[in-house]
Structure 1
Amino acid sequence: MSLSDAELERYARQIVLPKFGGVGQQKLKAASIAVIGAGGIGSGAVPALAAAGIGKLTIIDDDVVDRSNLQRQPIFRDDQVGGEKAMLAARFAMALNPHVEAVARERRIDAGNASELLEGHDLVLDGSDNFATRLAVSDACVGLGIPLVSAAAVQLQGQVGLFRGAPCYRCFVGDAFDSEDCDNCAELGVLGALPLTVGSFAALMAIRAIAGMGEDSGKLHLLDADQLSWRAIPLPADPGCRACGVPPQSG
């Protein structure tokens, strides 16, 4: 996929990178990424992905902008309170970079529709705010063979991981969280810059995966914003995982 003169100028600082180059930029242009959630993490990820030159973004969110969102979701403005997040985020992405196609899906993703909504994408970036959604997205990605970048942030803690098959996100959290009853930032609070930092880091992982810059899967990256420290821990695959594992044979 060739790059226009305008794109060569726009992405010049990326193209000169020895490990990226024109080939990497062409891979981004040809890529389609689904972003689950246009909240705090999405507000960090969507601008980074659009600015980098991802060819198509599908933004999936059924929520509307609330004034309390604005502290950590700067892709929205005060005069957009009450507007559909997915539509506004898609408009933001295309205004930022006219070479990007951004599509809004104003639907709540769940186990019943996840495969339909995600099929055909090259990567999924999940910034949703509950375990039921994250697990539904993870299971669909395993079934479809799509890499998943899963990101979360609350209070002063953030986490990001890239999952390709096994281990999957379900290996990490298990089956105990297949519900929408989990803590979220509305209850626990969150420092505004944290989800934006996590979202940008998730976008970086997605860009690396699309461009083939390294094998980053199988590790969980943890951010402690209180201590200003990052650390990575390995994630073992669960051989009995009902999404990606092979259950032991009976008899």
Structure 2
Amino acid sequence: MMADTREGRLVDTFVTLADTLVAGYDVVDLLHTLVDACATLFSASAAGIMLADATGQLSLVASTSEKSRLVELMQLSAGNGPCVECFSTGLVYALPDIESVKGAWPEFYHEAVAQGFRAVHAVPLRLRGEMLGTLNLFLDRSGSLTAHDASVAQGLADVATIGILQERAARESELTQRQLQSALNSRVVIEQAKGVIAQLHGVDMDTAFATLRQYARDNNLSLRDVAAGVVGKTLSL
């Protein structure tokens, strides 16, 4: 079967993302689908996406694990790190050995090592000269992506960019900014819901999120609506 090979999984990923864009989409779920696929395709320990709001301030929108979430949040707090650098320059930032930035970015270094990461590959989400955010891959081994994998990662990042901006051609940029802000606001509610589920069932945050997401998919609901129901105690998972 096609999906039994790496190339097949890559084709399936692009098909899934393309189908989602044609059929209409929940931005947050689209981005989570993307980071999940990237983690698998590139044998990364984790992956995440940061987006900028209307003021240019970066926020974390999607991540595959609590470990990568902590590293990315730390970068946002410190104002430096490979993902922040990628966004600032609009260029791919490949960090094959985290040890090399121990002196320049001590906060990032210590948090990344503590979470078991040894290398990072950050890819810009951009449309021409406009930067929207970054797609970040975290590896538990030193080394860089191959030239082919780096190209594929950029292609997937471009799909994410298209997903975010697909309505821009027909509407004012204000709509896109509202959509981005909506994704950022949704993340806050989702984090709250994860905490509720984790505490209620005695599970970790990753398991809590998987429960939240599976319910949304099984019932054809948006992640934000399910999360809001959990937080508002109108929905019990």
TM-score using structure 1 length: 0.29
Tell me which of the two structures has the higher relative contact order, counting C-alpha pairs closer than 8 angstroms and 6 or more residues apart: 1
